[in-house]
Structure 1
């Protein structure tokens, strides 16, 4: 039975990465040359500077511009919590969501007008 999960992720800047995740409300337990992000009592993500990660893994660090380094999935209690988390870190997300919601509303209205006008003629 697994008691704890540790995920090690390479980062270019430990300080910038910590700042980013702290803005999302995550807590850290700083030890050694890596930073442990506490996700829950049994799960930690260890952020490691790329040079140290390369030594540890004994492989090159993935170039995330051309390859996938990892796929991470976080289960969050609700859609509202996801939206709040996204908007908190990425203010531009809110603007995009509002724009997208306005577009959807316009499409729904256009669809109703189309159906009211032409729907009765379709078979």
Structure 2
């Protein structure tokens, strides 16, 4: 009669594992890092960081150009606002008194038309 097995292997019998389940040999594994130590990795990381970091002068130049563009737009906006103010002042000072005079003149004409009826 054969017993049903399960669980952990018994002492003395666990050495017969299939090849894929055995512990791999550490000497046969490829090493992702150079065997000389972590220093080549650090120097490579530094070189990559220097390559990916933009030059400070170029970045400052780009910021200055952006600021110049914004100042130009601000100046255009201020001149537009001044033009609107001057147009508004001219309308208030010149055209509204003319309109009042025309309204008064038209009231006189309406009165004359009402008398004719």
Question: Could you tell me the TM-score, scaled by structure 1's length?
Answer: 0.28
Q: Higher helix proportion, which one?
A: 2
Larger Rg: 1 or 2?
Answer: 2
| Structure with greater proportional strand content | 1
> Given the two structures, how large is their TM-score scaled by the length of structure 2?
0.29
Q: Which has the higher contact order (CA 8 A, sep 6+)?
A: 1
